[in-house]
Amino acid sequence: MNIGHYTRNFNLFGFPLGPRVENRFTNDFFSPSAILSNLSRNVALHLGTPSLRVNVGIDDAMRKLHRILNIDINDPRTTWPRAKFQVLKPALHEDSDGNPVHLILLLGAVFLFFLSKETRSSRALWGYSAALSAGFLLFCALLKWQPWNSRLQLPLFVLAAPFVAAVFCKRWNERFVLAIALALLLSALPWLLFNRSRSLIGNPNVWNRNRFEQYFTNRPQIRDAYLGAADFLKSKNCRRIGLEVGPNDWEYPLWPLLKAGNETIPIEHVHVQNRSALLILADSAPVPSYRPV
């Protein structure tokens, strides 16, 4: 499924995973202590509780572990720039909330897997669990820790679901397993109904906010600037737009904002400073002129 993505990366950067130099996503060094640091911090993302006392205790334990490992818990070589480790309370936010219930079920399934001879004798479960564990270890070894890693680990939790289901179904009767599934559905209701980004209940919610307002839910401070820029460009009847953005600037809100009826105003990147500028130079089409306003 990733062949197209890998091929484009290889053609541009000479490496299937993207640029190898000045890549702030990957760890700057690899060692057992660095991997254990990232592994423990990634697990801790899912351990936050509503109790401040419990969270402080988990935080203290993590810092003691890092003293034993002789590595800074916020080592910049293995940590996203300016990010700081902290065990947080659940906030019903898609960027930072963990998966504590799913983690407990997964650890329980692992315990039952080794406890039962029937599950231990399954070559399929052994192979599946080994591939899943290798994926998580590779995640911890390759990628820098960041406070938003819990959402990047969602595919691993999804892939773990068949393993958990297979172990539970071998150990317990169908009614008990269905009860667990129902409990999971019910536990998801707070995040479904009161999600801070797309709440279904409360004020504001997705029902009383228009589409454009919802584009800026997580960054409301930039809403007026984007709306003003879109109105200005439309007033000048611009037919092609050159866009200069930074690494964390949002482009996608401009797409619908600049759409006039069924016509979309073309947007092209200008003054690109990274290696992908080669793709613009290779394009025979003229680049829009640029003048700061």
> Could you tell me if residue 249 is inside a domain?
yes
Cα–Cα distance, 8 to 204 (Å, whole number): 41
**Looking at residue 290, what is its pLDDT?**
47
Residue 144's pLDDT is what? 95
Question: Is there a domain that residue 242 lies in?
Answer: yes
**Distance between CA atoms of residues 10 and 262, nearest Å:** 36
The domain of 260 spans 211-282
As a whole number of angstroms, the distance between CA 128 and CA 110 comes to 12
Mean pLDDT of the chain: 88
Residue 141: pLDDT band (50, 70, 90) is very high
The span from the CA of 15 to the CA of 138, in Å, is 17
Residue 59 CA to residue 53 CA, distance in Å, equals 10
Mean pLDDT of 220-245: 87
Q: pLDDT tens-digit profile of 145-159?
A: 999 999 999 999 999
Give the model's pLDDT for residue 256.
Answer: 85
**Measured between alpha carbons, how far is 262 from 272 in angstroms, rounded to an integer?**
29
pLDDT at 203: 81
pLDDT tens for each residue of 189-207: 998 899 888 889 888 888 9
Q: Does any domain span residue 230?
A: yes
- In the predicted structure, residue 79 carries a pLDDT above the cut 90: yes
User: Domain for residue 237, yes or no?
Assistant: yes
Three-class DSSP category at 197: coil
- Residue 273, CB-side half-sphere exposure with 13 Å CA sphere: 4
pLDDT of residue 281: 60
User: pLDDT (tens digit, 9 = 90+) per residue, 39-60?
Assistant: 999 999 999 999 999 999 999 9
Q: pLDDT at residue 128 above 90?
A: yes
Residue 221 lies inside a defined structural domain of this protein:
yes
Q: For residue range 253-293, list pLDDT tens digits in order.
A: 888 888 765 677 788 888 888 788 887 665 545 555 545 44
Q: Do the domain assignments include residue 47? A: no
Question: Residue 105, CB half-sphere, CA atoms under 13 Å: how many?
Answer: 21
d(CA 39, CA 27): 13
Omega of the bond leading into 76 within 30 degrees of 0 (cis):
no
Averaged pLDDT for residues 29-43 = 95
Question: Please, what sign has the CA dihedral across residues 169, 173, 179, 182?
Answer: positive
- The structure's pTM equals 0.83
Q: How many domains does the chain have?
A: 1
Answer yes or no: is 49 within a domain.
no
**DSSP β-bridge partners for residue 259:** 264
Please determine, for residue 120, whether its predicted confidence score (pLDDT) is greater than 60: yes
Residue 234 included in any domain: yes
